[in-house]
Amino acid sequence: QQQVKQSPQSLIVQKGGISIINCAYENTAFDYFPWYQQFPGKGPALLIAIRPDVSEKKEGRFTISFNKSAKQFSLHIMDSQPGDSATYFCAASMRGYQKVTFGTGTKLQVIP
Amino acid sequence: GAGVSQSPSNKVTEKGKDVELRCDPISGHTALYWYRQSLGQGLEFLIYFQGNSAPDKSGLPSDRFSAERTGGSVSTLTIQRTQQEDSAVYLCASSPGLALYEQYFGPGTRLTVT
């Protein structure tokens, strides 16, 4: 019940296209959903995060869409650029429970 | 200010040897996490500290793994009698407090057991 399922495992998108990564969870007690971006040889870094009281959050070219009833959330990268090529992890956590549960990651490659 | 630092950045050791991996969190961050990331894989939670105590040790793969944190700051992850399957990148992260805060990750220690 603590799992966060992430798909796809890998994704190839052309420059200028839209990259979409999906995550699903079971535990309705989760109340914080961050996305992390990891470049090769680096640690993950927070990209954007959402709480379940909103259905969408946008920061620049990155948007999180959140569907509370379906227990799903997704990351959309608009106008994808080669510099966006990285591994993306969704995650979930809940108040009073210190551990953050990470998805399995999506390796994104944006080709020119 | 300085981010999370980890040392060494790379460690090659022989099977059966003990290794110590160090994490210096961001000053003032009370929570500290250790994760393991095998090649091309996700983040495997190992252990979490709140202050100097570790309420959740459930992620440690075996009793060869241990961790401590002193002074609410530096943490050391120790692997005894290393095995080849221990080869991975070990990541440390710190956060200001509860899990609802952003985790700041260090660059990791790449451990290779030969």
Average pLDDT rounded to a whole number, residues A22-34? 93
Chain A hits for B99, CB-CB cut-off 8 Å, are 32, 93-95, 97-100
Q: Which residue of B lies nearest to A34 if distances are taken between CA atoms? A: B102
Cα torsion B14, B20, B25, B27: sign: negative
* A4/A23 Cα distance (integer angstroms): 7
Run of H or E residues at B6: strand B5-7
Q: Do B100 and A105 touch (CB under 8 A)?
A: no
Tens digits of residue pLDDT in B60-69: 999 999 999 9
- The amino acid present at B97, given as its one-letter code, is G
Closest CA to A11 of A101, A111, A78: A111
Chain A hits for B91, CB-CB cut-off 8 Å, are 43-44
* B74/B100 Cα distance (integer angstroms): 22
Chain B hits for A95, CB-CB cut-off 8 Å, are 98-100
Name which of B100, B105, B109 to mutate to probe chain A: the one with the most chain A Cβ atoms within 10 A of its Cβ.
Answer: B100
Q: What is the DSSP letter of B26?
A: P
Task: Determine what percent of chain A is predicted with pLDDT higher than 90.
Answer: 82
Name the β-bridge partners of B95: B31
* A111/B10 Cα distance (integer angstroms): 31
Torsions phi, psi for A6 (to 5 deg): -120, 140
Q: Do A105 and B41 touch (CB under 8 A)?
A: yes
- Cβ atoms of A103 and A23 within 8 Å: the answer is yes
Tens digits of residue pLDDT in B72-105: 899 999 999 999 999 999 999 999 876 667 899 9
Res A1: pLDDT: 60
In A3-105, which ranges are E strands? 4-7, 10-14, 19-25, 33-38, 45-50, 56-59, 62-67, 72-77, 86-94, 97-102
Q: Which residue of A lies nearest to B58 if distances are taken between CA atoms? A: A99
Least confident segment among B3-12, B51-60, B76-85: B51-60
User: CA B40 → CA A41, B36, B92, distances in Å?
Assistant: 11, 11, 18
Using the predicted structure, report yes or no on whether residue B1 has a pLDDT greater than 60: no
Residue carrying structure tokens 């992260």: B93
- Here the tokens at position A70 are 């379906």
Q: With an 8 Å Cβ cutoff, is B60 touching chain A?
A: no
Q: Do A42 and B55 touch (CB under 8 A)?
A: no
Q: Do A98 and B98 touch (CB under 8 A)?
A: yes
The residue with greater pLDDT, B71 or B22, is B22
Label residues B23-40 b or e (16+ Cβ within 10 Å = b): bbbbeebbbbbbbbbeee
Tens digits of residue pLDDT in A63-109: 999 999 999 999 999 999 999 999 999 999 887 777 788 999 999 99
Chain B hits for A104, CB-CB cut-off 8 Å, are 41-42
